[in-house]
């Protein structure tokens, strides 16, 4: 019986690479990938004219919301609603009908929103009634307005007065 000669091959033990060697190897691989990606980009964009500059893009004009329609059909309620919107947009003040910046007190806003003096008087009377339902000690709208520190209650009671006027058909 003949046996084939056996040869033993020595396998080399794996070489442990240090951190610097591994970073250099990864850096070389990444350089190759980036070079291929650059070539692919140039091929993909070769048909585009290179001389065209990127156009300047300007921001669109700001969109202002449209004024919401008045939900009330009665004159006093519509006046009170317009007065509320005026106070929200132009601002609120105390101690005077209107200030230099355009802000107004409750009476000033109602007078500015009313179509006539009698419409302003009707709206003020409904507002005073709505306020006196919760604050019995209040004698006038100007004194109540001047006693406030922020417009939150003024706006709330303009809404309540508008709802009251609308319910009454005023």
The whole-number pLDDT of residue 43 equals 80
Asked whether residue 36 is assigned to any structural domain, the reply reads no
Res 110 pLDDT > 70: yes
The whole-number pLDDT of residue 161 equals 94
* Pairwise CA distance, residues 21 & 130, whole Å: 84
* Pairwise CA distance, residues 7 & 13, whole Å: 19
Asked whether residue 113 is assigned to any structural domain, the reply reads yes
Average pLDDT value for residue range 52-67: 73
The whole-number pLDDT of residue 137 equals 92
Asked whether residue 153 is assigned to any structural domain, the reply reads yes
DSSP state of 88: H
The whole-number pLDDT of residue 8 equals 64
Asked whether residue 80 is assigned to any structural domain, the reply reads yes
DSSP state of 92: B
Asked whether residue 116 is assigned to any structural domain, the reply reads yes
Asked whether residue 2 is assigned to any structural domain, the reply reads no
The whole-number pLDDT of residue 52 equals 60
The whole-number pLDDT of residue 47 equals 66
Res 56 pLDDT > 70: yes
Could you tell me the end-to-end alpha-carbon distance of the chain, in angstroms, rounded to an integer?
125
In sequence order, what DSSP letters do the residues of 39-63 get, joined into one string?
Answer: HHHHHHTTTS-TTPPPPP-PPPPPP
The whole-number pLDDT of residue 156 equals 94
The whole-number pLDDT of residue 85 equals 92
Average pLDDT value for residue range 157-161: 94
For the chain, the domain total comes to 1
In sequence order, what DSSP letters do the residues of 6-27 get, joined into one string?
Answer: P---PPPPPPPPPHHHHHHHHH
Share above pLDDT 90 across residues of the chain, in percent, rounded to a whole number: 56
Share above pLDDT 70 across residues of the chain, in percent, rounded to a whole number: 87
Domain extent at residue 100: 75-168
Res 69 pLDDT > 80: yes
What stretch of H or E contains 5? none
Compare 68 and 102 and report the one with higher pLDDT: 102
Asked whether residue 53 is assigned to any structural domain, the reply reads no
Asked whether residue 87 is assigned to any structural domain, the reply reads yes
């Amino acid at each position: 019986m003949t046996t084939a000669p056996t040869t033993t091959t020595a396998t080399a033990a794996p070489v442990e690479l240090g951190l610097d060697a591994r970073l250099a190897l990864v850096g070389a691989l990444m350089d190759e990938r980036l070079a291929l990606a650059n070539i692919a980009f140039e091929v993909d964009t070769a048909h585009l004219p290179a001389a065209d500059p990127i156009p300047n893009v300007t921001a669109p004009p700001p969109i202002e919301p449209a004024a919401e329609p008045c939900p009330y059909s009665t004159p006093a309620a519509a006046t009170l609603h317009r007065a509320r919107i005026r106070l929200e947009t132009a601002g609120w003040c105390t101690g005077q009908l209107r200030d230099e910046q355009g802000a107004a007190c409750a009476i000033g806003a109602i007078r500015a929103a009313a179509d006539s003096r009698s419409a302003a008087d009707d709206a003020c009377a409904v507002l005073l009634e709505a306020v006196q339902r919760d604050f019995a000690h209040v004698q006038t709208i100007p004194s109540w307005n001047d006693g406030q520190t922020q417009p939150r209650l003024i706006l709330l009671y303009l809404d309540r007065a508008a709802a009251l006027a609308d319910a009454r058909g005023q």
